[in-house]
Structure 1
């Protein structure tokens, strides 16, 4: 399965193999001590009715030292009918697929020849966005699911990037849960602004000004003076965690961070 980040490649593979368990199939995910080492050590022992699970297959096939050997072992497994049936599933980003399947120029070596032979004609592309038919099906499924699919459809239906919305939510929640108080103040200001109908694009000046009325009871953060209602001069964005100021210039802190 070839697709960009968070497009549902792994979930699509999982949904495909789930029914096989009822028919005696097993799933093998080689990863210990490393993915490549585990695959090389035990591919020769794969028994019939085994799903070989190569999620993020660049870790198996993209290494020039081991990728060709793993590809050759997979080819041998598929070629020996007495070892089947077997199912080999892998996921790749497009850039890794291009790297492993590109034909080299005549004067250069071919480091991915066996990998290219293995992948050619055996890839399925996962689109970046749901088309109209898929969106209609998602709406029907969301009616009997928890609130998360329905919320994702509300936010992302216009552009169809539903799986990216669902996949990104846990990471965003972790950012919020683990954020220091000044960072949470900015995030909560943005949340309140969106709740009250402000547009998607929130200027930094708006966020920092709106985040000024902060509780005086906050505990001190290491390296940052506790806030006591003062309004210091503008601070540079380096005072905030790197991810908070990513893609920005200067941040007028106005009491959000004070040295």
Structure 2
């Protein structure tokens, strides 16, 4: 609403000056308009929509400030004209958003559980016993590949051992920390050190991929979704390093062209 405080709707006429992108050398003349906020309490439908927006916790502080600045009918807003409106919003959020919604959701869940138990009311088994039977019927045996070749078996035993998995996990965490250590305006030697660390971690993960391929072979390696994810990450890291190296190789030629057009 482009109006001044305590200004009547009939007085919202004329024009005002705004500066494009905050530049005082670019003044623009705009017409004054009297507009309502997108959410208000002027009618029941809009009031229900406004309260629903508040109950979702999306943008409710903005609605709170607009309500606090609201004035009488057809009068422009005034700063902190109705501070007690904040009490209404807080009570509404505590009672409706916190308690009533949770109570309603809990009631729906309990009702569905009771309806689901009705078909088993004549069954001699309790709920836990039925769950155990259903789990036993739906359970599938876990297939695990164990190579017969002696050399391949040693590699398989190594890559499936807990120390190897813990070591890879620690390296993943260290790689994440090293990637998060970049900052704007960092020294060139610092950037170079992080790039070397990235190369080392990528080489280790690539070695892990090679060892697992040797242990599981391609057929059984890609049957595990986690292995597919690891392969995608390693491949993406290698492509990123290759792309960055190509960009570095192109920079000297660009400088030569700029110096000698």
- The answer to whether TM tops 0.5 is no
For normalisation by structure 2, the TM-score amounts to 0.23
For normalisation by structure 1, the TM-score amounts to 0.24
Larger Rg: 2
Q: Whose relative contact order is higher, 1 or 2, with alpha carbons under 8 Å and at least 6 apart?
A: 1
Q: Which structure is higher in helix share?
A: 2
